[in-house]
Structure 1
């Protein structure tokens, strides 16, 4: 079962949808984007999107995929 979350922040090149489904909630999640992973952290905030209140994850960094 997946959970919808809201993503906020990040550099200008990042074109991820602001609402995504994740398999597991954690303090930090990573999403594949280009040749790396974008990292988002949960700090206890939520965001109201339409009729839903979603946990808000804020961008906190990027790592490259090892070759």
Structure 2
């Protein structure tokens, strides 16, 4: 069963990605493909109201480039 989460933080250009996502587990970092790399997000126990939902917040924690 998946859980809806909210992505937060990072460089300004990340405002172009959809901030609400589904994840299978809250105890793992996630990576989102963006440009020529991946944006990494982690959950640290915070929640935020988004519309009528109270979603876990995954905060941006770094970027890696896609290996060629």
Same topology, TM > 0.5: yes
What is the Cα deviation at residue 26 of structure 1? 3.0
What is the CA–CA distance in structure 2 between the aligned matches of 1:36 and 1:28, rounded to whole Å? 15
What is the CA–CA distance in structure 2 between the aligned matches of 1:50 and 1:23, rounded to whole Å? 21
Q: What is the SS of the residue equivalent to 2:13?
A: coil
TM-score w.r.t. the length of structure 1 is 0.85
Post-superposition Cα deviations, 1:5-59, rounded to whole Å, max 9, x if no partner, equal 0011010121211211234433311111111110001111011112211110000
The Cα RMSD (Å) is 1.4
Could you say which structure has the higher helix fraction? 2
Unaligned runs of 5+ in 2: none
After TM superposition, the structure 1 stretch with the greater mean CA deviation from structure 2, 17-26 or 57-66, is: 17-26
Aligned length: 67
Match of 1:20 in 2: 21
Aligned residue runs from structure 1 range 1-67, under 5 A? 1-14=1-14, 15-67=16-68
Unaligned runs of 5+ in 1: none
